[in-house]
Amino acid sequence: MGTFKYTLLNAAYFAAFCTIHAYAAVYLLANGFNNTEVGILLAIANITSAVFQPVIAGIIDKPGFLTNKKFILISIAVIFVGCIILMCVPDKKAVIFPVYALIYMIQFAYQPVMTALCFEYQKAGCNIFYGLARGLGSASFAVSSLVIGPVVEKNGISVLIWGSIAAMIISAIVMLSFNKPADKDSAEKTSDDKIMEPATAHNSLASFAKTYPAFGLFLVATICFFFAHNMINDFMIQIIRNLGGRETELGIANFLQAILELPVMALIGLILKKISSEKLLIISGAAFFVKILILVFANGMPMMYVSQSFQLFAYAVFIPAGAYYVSTTMEELDQVKGQAFITSAITLGGVFSNFISGYILDHFSIRVMLITGSVVCAIGVAIGAVAMTKLPHHVTEKINL
């Protein structure tokens, strides 16, 4: 039952991720924004999210009112209200800018909390198959992309907001029914009873980097990987139009990359028995590089689809491998923040990508943008390899008595 509910939660989340994130440029361009303005809006949302996520994670890790479950419910409510506002103000850029930035930011912010929720409930005795649930979340994104592309092309961008509203309603219903097993072990591990934990939490990035050196440097590599990844995703409609496609082809491209995530994520438990999470993270970085490099030389939609197929080794490997890396190398009181720091690094990659990509598109060309992304990603691969193979993963602090 735990896996079923967590799968529904992921399915609803990634359906909304499709409508809000994957189609952000489509929605904003249709409302009169230019490429530079789209880049600025998404960059501001990403900057805010990158700062917000570790702060919220630090609060969740401490004893008090805010728990993983409560924060997710608050996030769902904020996105729901934001979508209602957007329905009422078509073409009003002054209102759309802050509201869209807010819901874009909040949806990113509660993604690592959902991952932390899974591991929290697993430790409390709830049977959740993380890889399968997360993979089916990607499948939900894939199906949503395939369906929404032609529907938006035919009926307009209001479909995106209605889809987000429906996803938030489903998310709220599932989240309200999500409860831990009522047993002695879980009672000792409740998120409201964190004061019983003996470990010391590391609440700053500097403290994290000192305690987890490999992780600290790998965050830099993650920024580089997702500079390239977000460059493709946030401005995919421009790339596709340059290759002769439209919104329907955008939906197919998103479907292809997302559906390929399912088998890898579903089988991640078996894969990790053969290949360590550290090696998988290096492999994923190399795949991000190949994915964007293919687009530099693409001359039609078939090459776009080939590029998207590398999602099988890139994002599909990175997300579960990163989650398991945090879960196995970090102290329990650091794990929510560890997940949040990964998502913050992903988000920062988006920040730099949004600013630079929008500017390049308006002043140079798509090819220049993709070459820039390839160079940055290559640097990330080198940094990631050093981090995962040369540095210690956990340094135990010495206590002077």
Which DSSP category does 206 fall into?
H
Please give the pLDDT value at position 255: 81
Closest CA to 211 of 394, 15, 29: 394
- Judge contact between 288 and 183, C-beta under 8 A: no
User: What's the DSSP call for residue 125?
Assistant: T
CA 180 from centroid of its chain's CA atoms: 25
Is the confidence at residue 329, as pLDDT, over 80?
yes
Q: What's this model's pTM, rounded to 2 decimal places? A: 0.71
The pLDDT mean for the chain works out to 83
CB atoms within 10 A of CB 299: 9
Of the chain, the percentage scoring pLDDT greater than 90 comes to 26
pLDDT at residue 259 above 60? yes
Q: Which residue from 71, 68, 105, 77 is spatially nearest to 172, judged by alpha carbons?
A: 77
Q: What is the pLDDT of residues 177-212, one digit of tens each?
A: 877 665 444 444 444 444 344 455 555 667 777 888
Q: Looking at residue 191, what is its pLDDT?
A: 42
Residue 236 to residue 186: CA distance in whole angstroms: 44
Query: What letters, b where the CB count within 10 A reaches 16 and e where it falls short, cover 246-275?
Result: ebbbbbbbbbbbbbbbbebbbebeebbeee
Predicted confidence (pLDDT) per residue in 8-44, tens digit: 998 999 899 888 887 888 888 888 888 788 888 888 8
| 2-390 under CATH 1.20.1250.20, yes or no | yes
Contact 271, 297 (CB under 8 A): no
pLDDT above 90: residue 246: no
Q: Based on C-alpha coordinates, what's the Rg of the chain?
A: 20
Alpha helix stretches (DSSP H) within 260-334: 261-266, 268-274, 277-296, 301-309, 315-329
pLDDT of residue 399: 40
- Asked if 174 and 307 count as a contact pair (C-beta separation under 8 A), the reply is no
Q: Note the Cα 185 to chain centre separation in Å.
A: 31
Say how many C-beta atoms besides its own lie within 10 A of residue 207's C-beta: 16
Q: Cα–Cα distances in Å, from 263 out to 112, 257, 317?
A: 21, 12, 10
**Per this entry, what is the length of the chain?**
401
> Are residues 255 and 145 in contact, defined by beta-carbon separation less than 8 angstroms?
yes
339 contacts 115 by C-beta, under 8 angstroms: yes
pLDDT score for 358: 80
Q: How far does CA 74 lie from the centroid of its chain?
A: 18
Per-residue confidence band for 400, with pLDDT thresholds at 50, 70 and 90: very low
Say if residue 261's pLDDT is above 60: yes
pLDDT at 110 over 50: yes
* Tokens 């790339």 belong to residue: 239
